[in-house]
Chains A and B, each alone.
Chain A
Amino acid sequence: MTVQLPLTRNIHADRRPTDLQAYEQNGGYQALRKAIPGMPPADCLQTVVDSHLRGRGGAGFPTGMKWSFVPMGENASPGHKYLICNADEMEPGAFKDRLLLECDPHQLVEGMILAAYTLQADIAYIFIRPEYLLATERLNQAIADCHRKGYLGKNILGSDFSLDLYVHVSAGRYICGEETALISALEGKRANPRAKPPFPQVSGLWGRPTIVNNVETLCNIPHIIEHGAQWFIGLGVSEDAGTKLYGVSGRVRNPGCWELPMGTPIREILEHRAGGMEDGYALRGLLPGGGSTDFLVPEHLDLPMDYSAIGKAGSRMGTGTIIILDDRTCPVAFVKNLIDFFAQESCGFCTPCRDGLPWSGQVLEDIENGRGRPEDLETLERQVSFIGAIGNTHCALAPGAMEPLQSALHYFREDFEKHIDDGRCPYGEPH
């Protein structure tokens, strides 16, 4: 029997954690035992490349390709190489990594051991947001259990591969999730993003080769190693491979997070999993992958949730956690809430982001409070094209912040105009 929903097979409705014994009874650490000693690192890398796994942190970058930039063998200078798991998960609307971290910590740990083995990294970190206390506790327990079992530490499973794994608890700031800012934070500094190149794969943590991957990305690795690339590709129902954790929050009957084949249509996620809209609410639009993705509208419901289809529709799959805008919530205030978040979380390094985002927030506040002027829409459009342009800022925070605004101006323009014409918000405060 092959597994169809590998990521959540150890995740229970009551969210109790799967401990080492339960994890192993369910086939856990078999992938590690297959790779060590059976598969040399180059074979593991080839398997990940062939699987077409794409990063689940938001950008969808092919994982195997990312890993292939790390200097190996004779090309690697002596010294440490690092693997970092990005468990910062601070994007508004994202709550999928929490599930994996809290409910099946060993799956992530096994994925990290295998990734580190593939890259021949000898030190690994899990960079986790400070509010994820339960996840931190369970990860530390899992790591301690692995040391006792010989899955971590010196000479893993009797091989010459050794790995230390540490949990680093952040001190709270969304920008830490950006991979170069994360590296600065791990080095104990202010989390300012760094210019690329050099890319972290070559010069990252303390100037050494470093790979940063999302929690969900790494959780896929044991299954890919155990069952192979073709099996993984076969799990998807559209162009992209594997399964995906999809989430829905907002005014639906059953908000939550589910593992489904990659490419499951949005409608199926909303109607079959999330139970459709709450009584008395209708769907206005949705952000498909967290607070930094462009709105989609009901006409997009039959699109498959994958990187290419959502991209072609003008948005991004991002984290795959959908935020619902219902017909009783003001789209202007919705976008203002997001812009305020991004403005507050800006690291302040670049002017368009540091000064531009608060300005957009102010314009939106004026419109929302009935003080908007007709020319404000033009101002917002100009901000979208300037702040949103890739290359005008040092990292993707500012362009991401502009995505919901830009698409709201497109799809919900009449709402903005009505605020300005009537001199007030036609919606009440949410309740």
Chain B
Amino acid sequence: MNNERIPVLTELELSEIDAELAHVPYRSAAAIDAMRIVQRHRGWVSDESLQAIARHLEMSADELDGIATFYTLIFRRPVGEKVILLCNSVTCWMKGCDKLQRRITEKLGIGLAETTPDQRYTFLPISCLGACDKAPVMMVGDDLYENLAEQTLDEVFRS
């Protein structure tokens, strides 16, 4: 691997990672935090980012990738500006999440695990969001939408 091609993590990313390193006993212990930090800045964790993080944490990229792929919300593929997380667990399912899924696909032209061509949205299923009393629910980016109905989807995704 040619080291010169590895982009250096930004100052901001490094300082945030180093803040995590300050309270763990060894560098690789901050692996998940570091990937989350980079993902927050770049949307996802590319191979190049992964290698840069691994070097900074003094671990192998393979080992780091093994950790990355274990966790659902570390993205190793590019995602749109906002990720749609539609809950498909039991209460949301009873309250019609399958129908909502079809409506989102209809509106945005993407199925699950796909990204709109304009890179605005990536559509993913998610397990119970811990808001079952407000089912059905979804998150779009940082926002939680509760008691969803098809009309709400029309408003949220009005372009």
Contact = CB atoms under 8 A, between A and B. Distances in A.
Interface residues on B, range: 35 or more
Contacts of B73: 130, 171-172
Contacts of B70: 173, 190-191, 347
B72 A92 contact: no
Nearest to B141: A133
Interface in A77-116: 89-95, 97-98
Nearest to A87: B130
Contact of A164 (B23, B30, B72, B74): B23
A424 interface: no
A165 to B, nearest CB: 11
A91 B128 contact: yes
Interface residues of A, number: 55
A127 to B, nearest CB: 11
Contacts of B71: 170-173, 191
Contacts, number: 129
A171 B28 CA distance: 16
A93 B132 contact: yes
Nearest to B139: A131
Contact of B130 (A98, A187, A429): A98
A224 B134 CA distance: 32
Given A123-B23, A250-B91, A291-B90, 5 more contacts: A90-B128, A94-B132, A131-B130, A255-B133, A338-B90
21 contacts: A90-B130, A92-B89, A92-B128, A93-B90, A93-B132, A95-B130, A123-B23, A130-B73, A131-B130, A170-B32, A171-B35, A172-B73, A173-B70, A188-B28, A188-B29, A188-B30, A206-B29, A247-B132, A255-B133, A334-B94, A429-B98
Interface of A: 89-95, 97-98, 123, 129-133, 164, 166, 168-174, 185, 187-191, 206, 247-251, 255-257, 291, 321, 323, 326, 329, 333-334, 337-338, 341, 344-345, 347, 429-431
7 tightest Cβ-Cβ pairs between the two chains A and B: A171-B71, A172-B73, A249-B132, A172-B72, A255-B133, A188-B31, A92-B89
